[in-house]
Every structure is written in structure tokens, then in C-alpha cells.
Amino acid sequence: PGGPLLNPLGLAKDIKNAHDWKLKEIKNGRLAMVAILGIFVQASVTHVGPIDNLVEHLSNPWHKTIIQTLASSSS
């Protein structure tokens, strides 16, 4: 971050904070990439989207878990 367009909140005024914020942003981006990979894998295994899986789980949380889903998709 730096400059008026890339730092509108003034979070990177000192260089130590700038490096910390950059590192946090990189880690956040990596976490988001892992999350989207999980969504793609979930969609390929269950053949429905993540919202449908969540709604199905919330409708019966004791019987609609990942273990039952994997067991039913492998057979």
C-alpha cells in the first residue's frame, strides 16, 4: 500500500506497518484460494453447490454430514 489511491485510510504511514499489512494481505489471499479450491472440490464430489449443501446440512445436521456424503457418493 502506498499513495493516495492505494492507501485511502492511511494504514501504511510507517514502513513496519506497511510490511505487516502486506503480509496479512498475502496470507488472506492464500486462504481465499484454498477456500475456493474447497468449494470446487465439494461441488465436484456432491454435484451441487455449497449453498445447497449448507441448506441440506442445516435441515438435518445429525444425518447430513461430510461422512455420510462421502459414503453415499462412493457407492
Q: Would you say residue 7 lies in a domain?
A: no
Mean pLDDT for the chain overall: 82
* 42 known ligand binder: yes
> Is 27 annotated as belonging to a binding site?
no
On whether 28 is known to bind a ligand per the annotation, the reply is: yes
CB contact set of 49 (below 8 Å; sequence gap of 6+): 43
Residue 9 counted as domain residue: no
Q: Is 16 annotated as a binding residue?
A: no
Q: 6 or 39: which carries more pLDDT confidence?
A: 39
Asked if the structure places residue 10 within a domain, the reply is: no
Indicate if the pLDDT at residue 49 is higher than 80: yes
Domain-embedded: residue 58: yes
Whether pLDDT at 1 is above 70: no
Contact 11, 1 (CB under 8 A): yes
Number of domains in the chain: 1
Q: Which domain holds residue 49?
A: 15-74
